Structure 1
Amino acid sequence: MPDYGHDLLFGTVLVPAAGHSADAVALARVADRSGLDLVSVPDHPYRPDLLDAWAVLAVIAASTTRVRVFPNVANLPLRPPAVLARTAAGLDLLSDGRVELGLGAGSYWEAIAADGGPRRSPGEALRATREAIEVIRELWTSDRHVHIDGKHYGLDGAAPGPAPAHPIGIWVGAVGPRMLKLVGETADGWLPSAPHVPPNRLAAGHRIVAESAASAGRAPAAVRRLYNLSPGPGGFPGERRTHGPSSWRRSPWSTGRARSSCPRSNRP
């Protein structure tokens, strides 16, 4: 898979267990001192055994000096895009430009619905993600009140801002062909995970992203390639599935590695 001349960045996925609330921050400090580039945390707002992703990212950003932080990936059905835009931009300002935005269309719909969120079909999730990206970008960049007529997300004269400290990348956790096409057309990065997109499927996904970017008049190099790696065929250490498809448990020290073809010299 071509890297378009980008340098590799390396990072970690930290699981912020509520029962061990200090561990993720402590590990993020280690990552910062060790020279890693990215620190991320999963975002499952419906899981009471995990701390809120944005709260953890804020503390991690305040406790480190160089790593970039991001949700891996933000749960769009339970995080309205206007709120996501302002939350990410605010933390980017507070951290001197060290925030990116991983974005997910949603899964575990049973758990999302139990928390009052929508239960979307694949087509609805695709459209909602497209609308969300438009909302987020407009609130970051517009110089006037924003009007967007969306089926799932719209704005009716919303005041834009705050503008982030740097151009925050929107990295989408896409798996299926239609979502990959959306990434190529609108997103700044493709962020798959090994359990869902194993290495032998990366080239095919890359082709869809690159061709879709070109069809939309974008350079394929404009979409960054990232990859969440599982430590092995058994998944993350200490992970076990419980209570059906909507609930997972992980040990407080579970980590995964995130690899990126983002350039070190130029933040997205």
Structure 2
Amino acid sequence: MTDYERPLSFGLSLDPDARAWAYTRRLARTAENLGLEHLAVQDHPYQPGHFDAWTLIAHLSAHTDRISFLTDVADLQLRPPVMLAKAATSLSVLTGGRIRLGVGGGGIPDAIASMGGAARRGPDLVAFADESVGLLRKALNGDSVRLDSPYHHIAGYQAGPVPTRPVELWLGAQKPRMLAVTGRQADGWISPLNIYVTPQEVPSRQRIIDEAATGAGRDPRELRRVYNVIGAIGGGDGPGLVGEVRRWVDTLTEWTVVLGFDTFVLWPVADPERQLALFAGEVVPAVRERVEAIRSGR
């Protein structure tokens, strides 16, 4: 059993479809009104039908008041780290601390190359991402950033603005070397969808993160663990977790107290408004209650 006993939080993934921005904005407002903590926006800018993630987040943040926003995940190969930190801290100041920065190395090399990115792969990608995360941390903290390496040439940038609430840096990863980067440097792990990293595969990933964190002198319990959960609540067909409310409650409770996740982002396969209502109104409060009862019983 691996329960890091971190506070639970829940979110909704928003589709950055450029044809449906009014509907997306309505979903964002509804999620906030229903008490969710996060709105997640994927970052695939090479998709011609997708909005830029940061532009969409900026728009939605102006139409909400409390809920936080998460890039799930920003592509490091298309977004230079110091500029990415500038965008995140700027939005954090403007929104009163409602930005969480999720980043990833970039998983679709040919698409990245189509926009002028380097399309790195394998060990080269991991080394680049590792260095980029280190630069991000410095820039998010408002430090002076200087580095001359094969990957980055930064000649002494003084980072800022610095938000009152630090921007948390979460890393999307699924393979051992990137998971180790997460443990050494990030504030949290964003797991890919539950159909890509299945529940059976999670414990081995968590161990890699924990061992890397411990080896770097960090407490693994301080890292957030985020699971992107695709599925359908209330039955029906589709990929991922499909079943009635009770199955969702049982499963998310188990994924908390056994697998170690503390944050769940819903990716509805159909009818997002109905799925959001069921998730926020029935699944989330029941999971919170069950997890609290289990933790208290210890």
Q: TM-score, normalised by structure 2?
A: 0.77
Report the residue type matching 1:155 in the other structure: I
Question: What RMSD over aligned residues (CA atoms) do the two structures have, in Å?
Answer: 2.4
Query: Does the 8 A contact of 1:131 with 1:150 survive in 2?
Result: no
Q: 1:202 to 1:162 in 2, by over 3 A?
A: same
Paired with 1:167 and 1:56, the residues of 2 have a C-alpha distance of 22
Number of matched residues?
A: 246
Aligned to 2:212: 212
Q: Contact between 2:146 and 2:154, CA under 8 Å: does it hold in 1?
A: yes
Rounded Cα–Cα distance in structure 1 between residues aligned with 2:74 and 2:117: 14
1:19 & 1:29 partners in 2: Cα distance? Answer: 18
Once the two structures are superposed, the pairs formed by residues 93-108 of structure 1 within 5 Å of their partners are 93-108=93-108
Contact 1:128 1:152 survives alignment (8 Å): yes
Quote the Cα distance in structure 2 between the aligned partners of 1:6 and 1:164.
23
Matched, 1:147 2:146: yes
The letter of the residue matching 1:68 is: S
Gaps of 5+ in 2: 241-268, 289-298
Superposition deviation, residue 212 in structure 1: 0.8
CA contact (8 A) 1:23 1:252 kept: no
AA of the residue aligned to 1:56: L
Identify the structure with bigger relative contact order (alpha carbons < 8 Å, sequence gap 6+).
Answer: 1
The 2-side partners of 1:131 and 1:28 are apart by 34
Cα 1:142–1:42 change in 2 (3 A) is closer
Hey, what does 1:10 align to over in structure 2?
A: 10
Aligned ranges 1:57-206 → 2 under 5 Å: 57-143=57-143, 145-193=144-192, 194-206=194-206
- Structure 1's 147 and 252: CA in aligned 2 closer, same or farther, altered over 3 A? farther
Superposed displacement of residue 158, structure 1: 1.1
1:234 correspondence with 2:238:
yes
Amino acid at match of 1:234: G
- Structure 1 distance, partners of 2:71, 2:271, is 17
**Amino acid corresponding to residue 238 of structure 2 in structure 1:** G
CA contact (8 A) 2:141 2:166 kept: no
**Does the 8 Å contact 1:75/1:103 carry over to 2?**
yes
Distance 1:204 1:180 in 2: 10
- Encode CA deviations 1:93-129: one digit per residue, 9 max, x unaligned: 0000010001010011111101111111221111111
CA contact (8 A) 2:103 2:170 kept: yes
Larger C-alpha radius of gyration, 1 or 2?
2
Deviations 1:115-148 (A, max 9, x none): 11111122111111111111112122245x4212
Aligned partners of 2:109 and 2:120 also within 8 Å: yes
How big is the shift at 1:154?
Answer: 3.6
- Mapped partners of 1:140, 1:21: distance in 2: 29
Q: Is the 8 A contact 2:147 2:153 kept in 1?
A: yes
Shift in Å, 1:226: 0.7
> How much has 1:25 moved relative to structure 2?
1.5
Letter in 2 for 1:186: Q
Q: Could you tell which deviates more after superposition, 193-202 or 175-184?
A: 193-202
Q: Cα offset for 1:2?
A: 2.6
Letter in 2 for 1:146: V
* SS of equivalent residue, structure 2 residue 96: coil
Identity %: 37
1:20: which partner in 2?
20
> How far off is 1:155 after superposition?
1.6
Secondary structure of the corresponding residue to residue 7 of structure 1:
coil
Gaps of 5+ in 1: 237-249, 262-268
State the TM-score, normalized to the length of structure 1: 0.85
* Structure 1 CA distance for aligned equivalents of residues 171 and 62 of structure 2: 25
Counterpart residue identity of residue 164, structure 1 = P
For residues 6-29 of structure 1, give each alpha carbon's deviation from its aligned partner in whole angstroms, at most 9, with x where no partner exists.
Answer: 111010101021111222211010
Bigger CA drift: 189-198 or 29-38?
189-198
